[in-house]
Amino acid sequence: MTQPTDLNGRVVLVTGASAGIGAATARTLARAGAAVGVTARRTERLETLCSEIEAGGGTAFAASADAASLDSVREAVAEIEGRLGPIDALVNNAGVMTITPFAENDVEAWTRMVDVNIKGVLHFLSVVSPGMIERERGHIVNVGSVAGRRPFPGAAVYSATKFATRALSWGLHLELGHTHGIRVTDIQPGYVETELLSDQPVTKDAWDASWEGRRTLQPEDVARTIEFALTSPDHVTVSELLVRPTDQPT
Ligand SMILES: NC(=O)c1ccc[n+]([C@@H]2O[C@H](COP(=O)([O-])OP(=O)(O)OC[C@H]3O[C@@H](n4cnc5c(N)ncnc54)[C@H](OP(=O)(O)O)[C@@H]3O)[C@@H](O)[C@H]2O)c1
């Protein structure tokens, strides 16, 4: 069945919506008429976001989920579908980044990035995609990164997780596109001002200093590209979108 170009009444699940790109995407899509289901671990923030969206006349529902746990993801998706109905589009956005030189051998940080950025994406896909396959329609947006095209020092493992997302997006297009009517988009932002590095104050300060006088992307800039992909005509799959700050030289 053909998917509409507008978002009115479409149910969109946005993961990692308690901050940054996810929160901006939920707001943007709700403003465009989507009923948004939002997940993350910090429930209070999600509730505040939903209240704000509903106060503006939109529809939103929150369910807490740890992306690294398949059981937690199953419960959250069931809650959201119970309230809003079958999910038309999934924005796989939840992610973590630790800048750590490989020689420091920080297996804990590597594991966390793999658990959220790769396994978390697969967990949501495994719960949400069967319904899309059954209905022969749906849109999956994976939030990758410019680091999924080109690694940089201190981010070998983070980049590897985003290369994985990109490969997954490409493979999903091949397997779910013409056979099941599901569109797949890999969004690849450059540097966006968010809380992504906030648990690494020394690194964050250094990054902030290096961006002094240069314009970064804002979460809303990425949200607009996600809206663009979701509202393209049904026969058009926006497979990849690389969006960088004009002032980013890498
Ligand atoms: N900022 C950038 O420059 C940039 C560039 C390229 C790509 N990206 C990608 O964009 C996505 C969003 O990042 P952001 O920049 O908006 O960062 P952010 O402000 O730190 O937001 C990250 C979101 O992911 C959620 N999250 C983290 N671990 C989770 C877990 N275990 N289970 C569920 N949710 C989890 C967080 O929610 P809770 O902590 O409440 O769970 C939060 O809502 C990530 O995939 C990131 O890799 C960011």
Query: Is the pTM here over 0.95, yes or no?
Result: yes
The three-class DSSP label of residue 130 is helix
Whether the per-residue pLDDT at 1 is higher than 80: the answer is no
What is the Å distance from ligand 1's center to 1 Cα? Answer: 33
Assess if residue 248 is contained within a domain: no
Q: How far apart are CA 160 and CA 177, in angstroms?
A: 25
Q: List, for residues 61-81, the tens digit of each pLDDT value.
A: 999 999 999 999 999 999 999
Which residues lie with the beta carbon below 6 Å from any ligand 1 atom?
Answer: 16-22, 40-42, 65-68, 93-97, 116, 143, 145, 189, 191-192, 194-196
Q: Is 158 a catalytic residue?
A: yes
What per-residue confidence (pLDDT) applies to 81?
98
Backbone angles phi, psi at 170, to 5 degrees: -65, -45
Mean pLDDT, range 84-97, rounded to an integer? 98
The one-letter amino acid at 164: A
Assess if residue 165 is contained within a domain.
Answer: yes
Atom of ligand 1 nearest to the CA of 46: 40
Could you give the CA distance from residue 213 to residue 210 in angstroms, rounded to a whole number? 9
Among candidate residues 124, 158, 163, 191, the one labeled active-site is 158
Total domain count, the chain:
1
CATH number of the domain bearing residue 111: 3.40.50.720
Average pLDDT score over the chain: 97
Q: Alpha-carbon distance 130 to 136, whole Å?
A: 10
Q: pLDDT tens-digit profile of 129-184?
A: 999 999 999 999 999 999 999 999 999 999 999 999 999 999 999 999 999 999 99
Is residue 189, in this structure, part of any structural domain at all? yes
Q: What is the model's pLDDT at position 3?
A: 80
Centroid of ligand 1 to alpha carbon of 62 (angstroms): 16
Q: Give domain status of residue 157, yes or no.
A: yes
Whether residue 247 is contained in a domain is answered as no
Give the pLDDT confidence score for residue 98 in this predicted structure. 97
